[in-house]
Amino acid sequence: MWLTSMEGTANFYLGAVKKKILPEEFLTDSEYDWLMAKIFVRSADFSEHQLNAHLLRTHLLAEVFAVSLLRNVPMVHPLYKFAASGGKAMITILKRSLSSMTYSSLCIPDDIAERGLEAVPNFYYRDDGLKLWDIIHRFVQGVLSYYYKNDAEVQQDSELQKWILDIFEYGFLSQASTGIPQRFTTVVELVKFVTMVIFTCSAQHAAVNSGQYDYGGWMPNTPISLQLPPPTTKGTTSEATMLQTFPDVNTTVQGMATMWLLSQQSSDFVPLGHYPEDHFSEKIPFKLIKDFQGELEVLSVAIKVRNKSLEVPYTYLDPTAVENSVAI
């Protein structure tokens, strides 16, 4: 497996050298130099993924949204019916991650466009995620337009305004450059923000959480820690130094166990779009929930059909596997 991967890497760099993007000396670097470089990148990516993509951008955000709701909005408000949440280096990574967190990066249609990923082939996170966003958006639009008949009603709802202001002040440290709204002036703005909250706490969390064992169960692909510093001199690596660099058996097993646990469906799993508490009793919201569930079912079938033809099926955003809130 490594050899195949090394071959791919070698071909990639050969191409880059031919295009004069890289100097020729790159081709002579030893197999273990390349392997170790990739291992250190993968290990750094593990920390970035856990702390930024997973912890900060789903778990901690879900807490911000929910705590602000509890502080400012009475229990009878319809927004309640949507919400549920169940060392030094870490702080540095989280601080840096927070400083680059923007509203648009949390909204998948904007995020994909900003990163120029519209045409990347076989990108199922984007394909399924955009469809899920649209379905959630239609549902939120239906429910909130039922409760807020016009923009003035949004502007005059002081509890709603306090909710978003708390999120802006405490969750995004009053940084206007994040693009996070400080107040809602239109129903359209409110609908987009609530769609982002639901998407972040359900679909986005599933996308970054549920595949962790699949992706990281093979330790060299995601070393949770490394025992030696990255080599700084070329030609000093070998199989022996690689093995010394890897985490020991206990650390490896603990990492695998954690990733396995995080990737398991919880025993009290509630799928996206299902509200066992029966919050909605009025006729129109009740019908909107049924429509929402129907659309999610159609998407689920489409994803299952698509996956049949894939060598590695992408299942994480199948609505039947997406928890309705951040659970683990």
List interacting residues with Fe ion (CB under 5 A). Answer: 209
Between CA 296 and CA 177 the distance in angstroms is 34
Q: How many angstroms separate the CA atoms of 112 and 114, rounded?
A: 6
**Beta carbon of residue 261, minimum distance to Fe ion (angstroms, whole number):** 10
33 C-beta neighbours (distance < 10 Å), count: 18
- The residue (of 40 and 269) whose beta carbon lies closer to Fe ion is 269
Q: How far is CA 280 from CA 67, 76, 77, 288, 290, in A?
A: 22, 11, 11, 10, 11
Inter-residue contact 183 to 164 (CB < 8 Å): yes
Minimum distance of Fe ion from residue 55's CB (angstroms): 8
Single-letter code of the amino acid located at 243: L
In the complex with Fe ion, the residue whose CB is nearer, 209 or 293, is 209
CB of residue 297 to Fe ion, shortest distance in Å = 25
Q: Residue 77: how many CA atoms within 13 Å on its side-chain side? A: 19
Inter-residue contact 240 to 227 (CB < 8 Å): no
Cβ-based nearer residue to Fe ion, 142 or 217: 217
Kindly state the smallest distance separating residue 58's Cβ from Fe ion, in Å: 6
Residue 31 CB, nearest approach to Fe ion (Å): 36
Q: Are 226 and 247 in contact (CB under 8 A)?
A: yes
* Closer Cβ to Fe ion, 238 or 325, answer by number: 325
- Note the helical H segments in 246-282: 249-263
- Altogether, the residues listed in the chain come to a count of 328
Minimal CB distance to Fe ion: which residue? 209
- Residue 41 or 261: the one with the smaller Cβ distance to Fe ion is 261
What is the rounded end-to-end Cα distance, in angstroms, of the chain? 32
Closer CB to Fe ion, 59 or 126, in the complex = 59
The answer to whether 160 and 184 are in contact (CB under 8 A) is yes
In whole angstroms, what is the distance from residue 6 CA to residue 20 CA? 21
The smaller minimum CB distance to Fe ion, of residues 50 and 161, is found at 50
